[in-house]
Structure formats: C-alpha cells, structure tokens
Amino acid sequence: MFITFEGPDGSGKSTQIRRLKEYLEQQGCQVLVTNEPGDTAIGAQIRDLLLNPIYKGITPETEALLYAADRAQHVRQVVKPALAEGKVVICDRYIDSTIAYQYFGRQLSGEFMGTITKYAIDGLMPEATVILELSPEAAEKRYTQRAQAKQADYDVPDRLEQERAEFKERVNQGFKYMAENYSHRIITIDASGTIDQVWDAILAGLKERGVLC
C-alpha cells in the first residue's frame, strides 16, 4: 500500500505521518516512511539545490526537472522495492505537490508537466493521499518558528517558503483543485486543529475510504 501526505510546509505532515506509522505497526504492518525530495543519496544533493535559499535564479523549468529527477530516482530505488517486499510506504510529498507547486504555483504548461511526471512516477500512483489544509499565514508562523528553533534544514525558511504570497496562494488553489477532482483517493483535512483532532480526522478519513480497517 502506498499512502502520501501533502500540504504546505508547516501543516504538520511529519507529525501525522509518525502517528500513522505507529498505528499501522500496531496492526502488524511493516512500514517504510520516506519523503521527497531528498531520500536517496542523489536526491539529497538535489534537495539542497531546490531548497537552499542561497541558490537564486533557478528557473521554473529547472526546478520542475530537478523535482522529477529526484522522484525518478526515489520511485525506482526506494518506493517500488519496498512495495514489492509487501511494506506499506508512507511518503511525505509526491505527485500532488508537483501539480500544486510547479503547475499551479509556477504556472508551467500542462504538456511539459505531464511529460516529465509520466517518466518520473513510472506508473506508480498512491492508493490514498492526505492533504493537510492550512492558511498561508498559519503555515508561515509554524515553519518560521521551526527554522528559528533549528529544527529545519536551514536556519531561515527555505527557498520555497520564502516565496511571495501570490505564489503560495496559487499553490493552495492547486491542492484544492486536486482534492476536488481526485476525491476517490484524496482526503482533505483541516490542519488548524490540535494534533489529536487532526489525527482523528485522518484516521476516520482513511477508514471511510476503505484504506484502513
């Protein structure tokens, strides 16, 4: 089983992924938690190019191609082998982030995005996707605090977190579009509540979709 988590930085994906991993392991499942970009040796280098705020002037096309390169390596090296072993794979970000950030946020063409995404995912789509919704203002407060507490990759918000408000609003619209048009696999959760409230909603949503018993 392949489950992905999506949403803006600061929405609490990591915390809820840990909760789901613990729940599944209690049910007797073998679970692999992974993330994009960066969860391979090659991907770690790509992640720094994408998110380190010192790198200025990356074009939208370059950004999209770097994300696709990371995903191509990740799917083939990490995700598919784990699924073949019968593990449940939970991934922090996948294809919906690409649609939200590069197609809606960067406003790249559908033909370009469709072509690179097709080769990157190698036919692999998640059985279920959890999108955590949070306002840009609330998300910014959370990831800024995380950076200041040195709990992030960098001591300041990363390159995408530093983007303008208009970009972040387009990204949010992208996630909403995906949720509305792919409701058979996407569960949208209000991430503004407490950790327990958000977890309860995720668990109920996954059970309602028949993903969890």
- What's the rounded mean pLDDT across residues 151-155? 65
What tokens appear for 124 in the block? 């692999």
Instruction: Go through the chain and tell me how many residues it has.
Output: 213
Range with lowest mean pLDDT among 10-24, 118-132, 139-153 = 139-153
**Residue 29, phi then psi, degrees to nearest 5:** -85, 150
* Whether residue 213 has pLDDT greater than 70: no
Cα 40 to Cα 3: distance, rounded to the nearest angstrom: 19
* Whether residue 141 has pLDDT greater than 80: no
At residue 44 the predicted structure's pLDDT band, cuts being 50, 70 and 90, is very high
* Whether residue 199 has pLDDT greater than 70: yes
| pLDDT for res 66 | 97
- What's the rounded mean pLDDT across residues 185-191? 95
Radius of gyration (Cα) for the chain, nearest Å?
Answer: 16
- Residue among 151, 150, 170 at smallest CA distance from 160: 170
**Residue 118, phi then psi, degrees to nearest 5:** -55, -45
- What's the rounded mean pLDDT across residues 95-102? 95
| pLDDT for res 35 | 97
For 50-63, the pLDDT digits (tens) are 999 899 889 999 99
Say how many C-beta atoms besides its own lie within 10 A of residue 101's C-beta: 25
Domains and CATH numbers, the chain: 2-206 (3.40.50.300)
- What's the rounded mean pLDDT across residues 20-28? 96
* Whether residue 159 has pLDDT greater than 60: yes
Helices (H), 12-102: 13-26, 41-51, 60-74, 80-84, 95-98
* Whether residue 19 has pLDDT greater than 90: yes
Torsion of CA 137, 67, 80, 100, to 10 degrees: 40
The packing angle between helices 195-208 and 13-26, to 10°, is 60
With contact defined as beta carbons under 8 Å apart, do 5 and 13 qualify? yes
At residue 112 the predicted structure's pLDDT band, cuts being 50, 70 and 90, is very high
